[in-house]
Amino acid sequence: MTKAAELLGISQSAASAAIRALEEQHGVHLFNRVGRNIELAQTGHRFLPEAKAVLERAAAARNVLEHVSHTVAGSLSIAASLTIASYWLPRRLASFHEAYPAVRLSVTIGNTRQVEASVLDGTADLGLVEGRTESDILRRAKVDTDRLMLVVASSHPEIAETAPGHPDIRGLRWIIREGGSGTREVLEDLARREGISLADLQIFLVLPSNEAVRQAVEAGAGATIISDLVVGRAVAEGSLRSVPLELPKRDFAMITHRDRQASLAQMALKAHLGAETTGSAPA
């Protein structure tokens, strides 16, 4: 309830009062109160698709008025994967806010699969991911590229190679992200190119954040493949060592729902992120 109120820009008590008034008006219970938490009741589950449909229609109506008035305003809910949200997006949103101060932005963070789900169910207006997406009803537009690195602690022993420039990935102890993350996909792809599966590798730790992975590797727990955005400074300062390995660059991409009309604010953000990437001044 608190998170929902924050997203709407109202107080938690106001959100609770609005739900209570709706329940009392129709003589139903939309939520079950379980201790300090709430969960959708059966009536709430039946009502949810209708509520989402109303919100989508309201958003479509708002978009029409924005297009008529040519005013870039309103709100944008963005779901972003962890690397993008932590290292790539913040300064770009700051400059977007300077260009379009009437647009209110909110950001949620998850892995690529979670971001994709948020865009599909309408929880987010748009998503920013570095991993592959699976749904064919999403539009995908590249906004930048990311360089990946294989890194170990500076004190890590020399790594055996199966061929020049090809470290023996079976011999390494790995620290990796959780399933569904774009960073983990890169290691899965590398293993496939070597003719093995992830199960053939020595997976020592599975961690939910880039920072946790970086710190574990710095502590000497093993190796990882991770974005240069996350570990570039640590490599430059000498706490991590980059292991020569040719890895393909990956795209940072914006995803939107094919069947939902983009607002002026969404189009402005897409243009702004593209301009930031190419170094052009935002429109």
**C-alpha angle 2-5-9 in degrees, rounded to nearest 5:** 140
pLDDT band at 187 (very low <50, low <70, confident <90, very high): very high
The predicted pLDDT at position 67 comes to: 60
Distance separating alpha carbons of residues 220 and 80, to the nearest angstrom: 29
Range with the largest mean pLDDT of 8-12, 21-25, 152-156, 194-198: 152-156
pLDDT band at 68 (very low <50, low <70, confident <90, very high): low
Burial environment of residue 262 by CB neighbours within 10 A (0 to 12, 13 to 18, 19 or more): middle
Q: How many CB atoms lie within 10 A of CB 79?
A: 24
The model scores a pTM over 0.85: no
Q: Which two tokens stand for residue 33?
A: 């109160």
Q: Mean of the per-residue pLDDT values for the chain?
A: 88
The predicted pLDDT at position 280 comes to: 43
pLDDT band at 59 (very low <50, low <70, confident <90, very high): confident
Greater confidence, 203 or 10?
A: 203
Task: Pick the closest to residue 156 from 246, 213, 247, 238 (CA basis).
Answer: 238
At 214-262, the pLDDT tens digits run 999 999 999 999 999 999 999 999 999 999 998 988 999 999 999 888 8
Q: How many CB atoms lie within 10 A of CB 160?
A: 10
Residue 69 has pLDDT above 60, yes or no: no
Distance separating alpha carbons of residues 124 and 143, to the nearest angstrom: 18
Q: Which two tokens stand for residue 107?
A: 């950001």
Distance separating alpha carbons of residues 9 and 111, to the nearest angstrom: 25
Mean predicted confidence (pLDDT) in 204-208? 94
pLDDT above 90 covers what percent of the chain?
A: 58
Answer yes or no: are the C-beta atoms of 48 and 19 closer than 8 Å. Answer: no
Residue 66 has pLDDT above 80, yes or no: no
The predicted pLDDT at position 70 comes to: 62
DSSP-assigned beta bridge partners for residue 203: 174
Instruction: For 97-162, give the DSSP string.
Output: HHH-TTEEEEEEEE-HHHHHHHHHTTSSSEEEESS----TTEEEEEEEEE-EEEEEETTPPPPPEE
pLDDT band at 264 (very low <50, low <70, confident <90, very high): confident
pLDDT above 70 covers what percent of the chain?
A: 93
